[in-house]
Amino acid sequence: MRSFDVGVTRQTGRFVVFVTGELDINTCPRVTETTDALPLQGQTLLVDLSAVRFMESAALNMLLRLRHRAHAEGGTLKLCGASDQTLQVLDVSGTRSLFALSPGPAQETY
């Protein structure tokens, strides 16, 4: 069985969601469940992808829905630590420009 984990920490003005493993159709619901519980009004949601080994289209759809929700609630979604494979998914889909991206993991962001 593949190892997957998602966790969240609260910091001043933002939530940081840490994802580890593969983001696919089986694991995305866990991320959605975690993020649905967060009040995003006026908050930044930083999703740390630095420990994601693989991302498929289901994850892209999840991130797009999360971005839409954050914006609808007056918040901001930022992605950090995206691997080359994750960036390739964003590039191929033409969605890279929709996301605020930071190259390093969450502890290096801000």
Enter the pTM of the model. Answer: 0.92
Q: Both tokens of residue 98?
A: 């929709």
Contact indicator for 85, 54 with CB cutoff of 8 Å: yes
Q: Both tokens of residue 74?
A: 């007056």
Structural domains present in the chain: 5-103 (3.30.750.24)
Contact indicator for 68, 36 with CB cutoff of 8 Å: no
Mean pLDDT of the 62-79 span: 96
Chain-wide mean pLDDT for the chain?
A: 93
Binned at pLDDT 50, 70 and 90, residue 108 comes out as low
- The neighbouring-strand residues paired with 5 are 20
